[in-house]
Structure 1
């Protein structure tokens, strides 16, 4: 009997000393946090409409959500979503100080991610490559140019981030995406104007693993 109890205790101690698997195939991670979308500068050249002018799009911060399915301990599939972003399109140069348009958009993005660390590491950096579909809505023509809408955008998304496992369920995350978002004005004096948004998106979040 004493030998049996000793064996059980030794087995329990050995099991407790094994690190909890941070990532396993079939895991689902849900993360929520603050995400900022920061478009690049000089988003549209409007010199054909107004000499020596261009447009710049302001940044916005919203609630960001991601869901990741681990296909293997090192490969994940992530869906990025967020509450709608709203940006102001501001004039520069000859249009300096003019608010040209206000527009909202949603940029759902699906990415394949690679996690190079071993599955039991508490720190999990990763890189990703995916596709983004952005659609625009609630466009308001602040400058009365007769512009009606912005064409939806489809492009690549590059990402990187790091997860830190607080325990076997909870984690904290920092991540960044570079997204190819190009659109075109429909209607009005600016019809056909090409707009390159190409934002950098940065997110700080906490998450839970199922």
Structure 2
């Protein structure tokens, strides 16, 4: 079987839904996935490595990449830029490796605009009450911030139509199994498999 390009998988959902937990567990079980390394203008912290933790850039370098449309998405938090570099993703996909991106909803919508061939997975809470409990149980946010996060979550859930798949995160291991099933099914799609076999036939007829 001829190896074709890898697939970009994007996992997102409202704050508190458990994106990071699902992604970490998934990577324990699917070592062939490549995690999309983000780019930032913040200072490198002790122990961090450029090209492993982040790609570190100056503000000028980052803004030049924005102008050149070299980022699949970006945002600014507390005076620092963060974003997903197009070049790293495309080069990794060209090697036949799948790339996995865990990101907030607004960032995912930017990626969809810049890279519509990606596979978009929305991680959904079992209920809004459960989502509220998860945010409250963090113990790191004020009541006002919890209320604001829930309002934002309702808006983000309304954006679900932009996604290809919805996975309910009722239990982490179940959510991971569903994401793995999506990855497998995407590789078995007729249009992906047909391209490979057509290339084999063309080569044999030469």
TM-score, length of structure 2 as denominator length? 0.21
TM-score scaled to structure 1, two decimals? Answer: 0.21
Q: Indicate the structure whose relative CO is greater, using CA pairs within 8 Å and at least 6 residues apart.
A: 2
User: Rg larger in 1 or in 2?
Assistant: 1
Higher strand share: 1
